[in-house]
Chain A
């Protein structure tokens, strides 16, 4: 049993922390309040140049080959400063990894280096539909074989990074007669393809700088070479890749929770009421003790899931546990942190209300926490049945 990061992992963590502190943190409050996509994309480009878009991607495709543990600690450091940037980085890494896992050599060469280098600001993962959220197998977007290609029709919703993504990983039904989940395929669709329409942008509670849009397909014709993996095998791909993404989202949640508690704890050692620092009050101390304990537990769950993935062991259950626990611990940490600031916690002059809004989505996207519990229970019950 050895719980320390390697020297390389520590250097990556340090690089992420220093970059985030110097470049992301000073912009985060403004990007939350006003639209400045240029500044947001500028930071993504710098992160790409440093190698943050393909942490667990092979050198041959422009990745850092740094592994999943490094990915987790980097996500946490980025999210401490700016959750909207962090989710974009997390999805970009996931898109690179799904292409690396199931794409053809030509697809890998065509897209992964572009995301890793920052030539594409982002890649999008287009799974969810209005009628298919927690149950993506209920999707209705269709891909119909036509000559040597396919024609896509349908609509996706809540697609992170859609307005500035260079490539979309899109799931669509290719065999409507097949049993549930057996007739879905996965495609790579380039931005600018005629018939690919970026729809309405959501007005969200938090993570404002990260765009979340509808994506519509209106007789969108794609070549046969756009099919990724085997025909009708797409659903399995989505399920497998989301497990890895959950490590990213859990790590993001951890970063936001730590930011909230670090801010609130420092505040508590400075704020005086009743003639003493409020950190002298046991009610405040217990919030500090509880939240840091939970965040430390979250970190260890994440490290375990990341380490298992990196070692080639099964990790789906562990990733779900880590995502579930870390994102809920983060939400509680934000609640506690905001409470510790009193009225100032509710004011936009302090960052904790932003952390609370940014953390809220983490228990919903990349599989709601109810769905994580379904997965965890299924995995456990399998061994009892």
Chain B
């Protein structure tokens, strides 16, 4: 069995973002990067499946981006993936989901992966398009937003999160692609010995030009960091009146009392 996990390295979302000089994406200097949270669920699920199947599957982890993404690949290797593929692309942040999906699909096209796992979306771009587009390009069965996963006899049983707390269960024959949501599992911390041993695992580097043949279908034209938080609202006066005012605000402006 062959498994592919696709991961992205994203900035720490607690960071202060500012627009880059072209004003179409954020400025990267001064940001700390880490593995996209949803991709950690994908890595964890792949490693759990490998453990379930007695180490038999070979798990490849792929990431597209500049050299810094090797750190995310190494984390996935330390968590238990077997080999890495780094699609070297200093301009990855400017690509649209179609191009990213096309890069992955052209890598995966002739590899015969039985199962591909991705995050549900990236924490920074949040398009939630890459996984489903890869499935479409490869002609794989696809289920999104997984909060539960089981595998036996070539069949994935996926529990999906729908709106409003509703769940649905779908069954897919492999080859299949699933996208992973918060709640699917608790990603392990890589152990220190495994971080060091992951140094010996192979990471193949492929120049993006070898895999990317598609023009973008969509272009980001501007980027807007959140406005600085306002000073809040100060209520003054008699307590009885204040309580009513506060209730009114909570009802109108927040979801707390709905």
Contact = CB atoms under 8 A, between A and B. Distances in A.
Report which residue of B75, B78, B189, B194 has the largest number of chain A beta carbons within 10 angstroms of its beta carbon.
Answer: B189
A211 interface: no
A225 B190 CA distance: 37
Contacts of B74: 7-8, 11
A12 interface: yes
Interface in A47-90: 49-52, 55, 59, 63-66, 70, 74
Given A7-B70, A7-B71, A7-B74, A12 B192 contact: yes
Contact of A65 (B34, B78, B190, B193): B193
A50 B71 contact: no
A10 interface: yes
A8 to B, nearest CB: 5
Nearest to A55: B192
A59 B193 contact: yes
Contacts, number: 50
B195 interface: yes
Contact of A12 (B70, B195, B199): B195
B196 A8 contact: yes
Interface in B174-196: 189-196
B195 A66 contact: yes
Interface stretch (A14-22, A287-295, A302-310): A14-22
B71 A10 contact: yes
Contact of B71 (A11, A15, A19): A11
Contacts of B189: 15, 18-19, 50
Interface in B37-79: 70-71, 74-75, 78
Given A8-B196, A14-B34, A49 B71 contact: no
Contacts of A70: 192
B199 A8 contact: yes
Contacts of B192: 12, 15, 50-52, 55, 64, 66, 70, 74
Tell me which of A7, A8, A15 has the highest count of chain B C-beta atoms within 10 A of its own C-beta: A7
Contacts of A63: 193
A12 B193 CA distance: 10
A8 B200 CA distance: 12
B191 A50 contact: yes
A64 B195 CA distance: 8
Nearest to A19: B189
Contact of B196 (A19, A50, A64): A64
Nearest to A67: B196
Contacts of B196: 8, 59, 64-66
A345 to B, nearest CB: 23
B198 to A, nearest CB: 8
B193 A51 contact: yes
Contacts of A74: 192
A55 B193 CA distance: 9
Interface string A162-182: 000000000000000000000
Given A7-B70, A8-B74, A15 B195 contact: yes
Contacts of B190: 11, 15
B42 to A, nearest CB: 18
Contacts of B191: 49-51, 64
A65 B191 CA distance: 12
Contacts of B34: 14
Nearest to A8: B195
Contacts of A10: 71
A74 B192 CA distance: 10
A52 B195 CA distance: 12
A211 to B, nearest CB: 25
Interface in B209-256: none
Q: Which 3 A-B pairs have the closest CB atoms?
A: A51-B192, A64-B192, A7-B71
Given A11-B75, A50-B191, A59-B193, 7 more contacts: A7-B71, A8-B198, A14-B75, A15-B190, A49-B191, A51-B191, A64-B193
5 contacts: A11-B74, A49-B191, A51-B193, A64-B193, A64-B195
